[in-house]
Amino acid sequence: KKKKKKKKKKKKKKKKKGDPHWGTLRDGHWTGIVKEIVTGAADVVVAPLDLTAERETAVDFTMGLRNTGFRLVIKRRELMDSTWTTFTQEFTKEAWGGTLAFILLAPPFLTFVSYYSPSEKEKIPLKDAYFVTVGALAYQGASVDMTSVSGRIVFLVIFLGTLLTYCHYTSALVASLTVASTAQPVDNLMDVVKSGFYDLGFMAEISIENEFRMATSPPFE
């Protein structure tokens, strides 16, 4: 009789799960890398481990081998992200205010000159002066024939103001459509917190988490 060979089942060795954290004191016990040193599992650790007052009470730090820092990582802005607002974002608050002031103030000057200029033959009522100004902004021209020098100067100022408005808008529009803006919406951590648009997150058990937990000043507290 042939002896049946018993197949030996190979037992899979369970891999020991290491502590993925850097090292924080939780309920009187250390975690992560600091725990490995405190318990004797490791003698020396070379890692980008920040020096904190809490960690310094448990382990000794040598002089830094390399300077590292934290970075803010956000989505890169693309040209098509603001396609539908491109046609209105050229006008800032100052530009809108200047255009509105031009529409409101130019017609009264035109009416004043037409009525009080000795050499002016045609009198322009205020409502007609507003139509002339709006028509100039719409590039529709005007059927008003100013004969006095002062009246023609006011008329020329209205059309020059219209020209400057169109130049500002078209130049800003062409620039925004051809060149993507590389400016970032935030420059530092304070901008991220104040914006209210971004959800701030960071890895657990790192030194910056401890700084947030111990912060006493807004908006980080």
Q: What is the CATH number of domain 83-178?
A: 1.10.287
The greatest distance separating any two alpha carbons of the chain, rounded to the nearest whole angstrom, comes to 137
Distance of CA 95 to the CA centre of its chain: 21
Location of structure tokens 């657990």? 204
Prior bond of 219 cis (ω within 30°): yes
Name the residue ranges covered by the structural domains of the chain: 1-57, 83-178
Location of structure tokens 């104040």? 194
* pLDDT tens, N- to C-terminus, the chain (221 residues): 444 444 444 445 555 555 667 788 888 888 888 899 999 998 998 888 888 888 888 999 888 887 777 677 776 665 555 555 666 666 778 878 888 888 888 889 888 888 888 887 778 888 888 888 888 888 776 677 777 888 888 888 888 888 888 888 888 777 766 655 555 667 777 787 777 777 777 666 667 776 777 777 766 66
